[in-house]
Amino acid sequence: IQSVRAHSSNISGLAWGYNSSSSSSLPSTLLTGSWDHGLKVYDVSRMDCILALNGSRVVTSLSRCSNSDVVATGSPDCTVRLWDMRTNGEGGSGSQIADKTLRQSHKSWVSAIQWSPTDPFVLATTSHDGTLKVWDIRSSLPLHTVKATDNKGDKSLCLAFGDGFIYSGGSDCVVKKFAL
């Protein structure tokens, strides 16, 4: 077993890095998000941190776009943020893409986030506010917002893209299927 102390607080998300320049089909990097407000990139062969980006909020969830090194994160401040993992980290603590946030994201903690497997501009989020939102990252407003839970106070906790559908699950113990 190999391990590394990756963050100073809870690790809340993992995703494989993008392999644009590698001849191998296996990812060579692992992305981590944490309650310490940071995103880090680790070389998996050496388990060395090769990039550290620091934000201003806790990272509660993360997802990497399937064809780039753009990462979306959710936070307890109800906001979705986009990060450019190609940032070289020079000049301080790294950066986010032009402070790109998708406003007004949710009314409560963003619990899950996932990029569309077929469209690099589309992602979905769920929240403790019980909603599921679909976003085009070229806009700061959601394309669609649906109530993912039936009862007031129930939380939407997770999601998955399917073929033409998005599935969500939550504290109501129900999986719902929404057409895209």
From first to last of the 180 residues of the chain, give the pLDDT tens digit: 778 899 999 999 999 987 655 555 677 889 999 999 999 989 988 889 988 888 888 999 999 998 887 899 999 999 898 888 765 544 444 444 444 677 667 999 999 999 999 999 999 999 999 999 999 999 888 999 999 999 999 999 999 999 999 999 999 999 999 998
Whether 102 contacts 112, CB under 8 Å: no
The model's pTM: 0.84
Longest pairwise C-alpha distance within the chain: 50
In whole angstroms, give the CA distance from residue 148 to residue 125. Answer: 11
User: 39 pairs with which residues across the strands?
Assistant: 33, 53
DSSP H stretches of helix in 3-107: none
Token pair recorded at residue 122 = 């589309």
Question: What amino acid occupies position 87?
Answer: T
pLDDT score for 85:
73
Tell me which amino acid residue 176 is: K
Contacts of 173 (CB under 8 A, 6+ apart): none
Phi, psi dihedral angles at 75 (to 5 degrees) = -140, 165
- Say if residues 154 and 170 touch (Cβ distance below 8 Å): yes
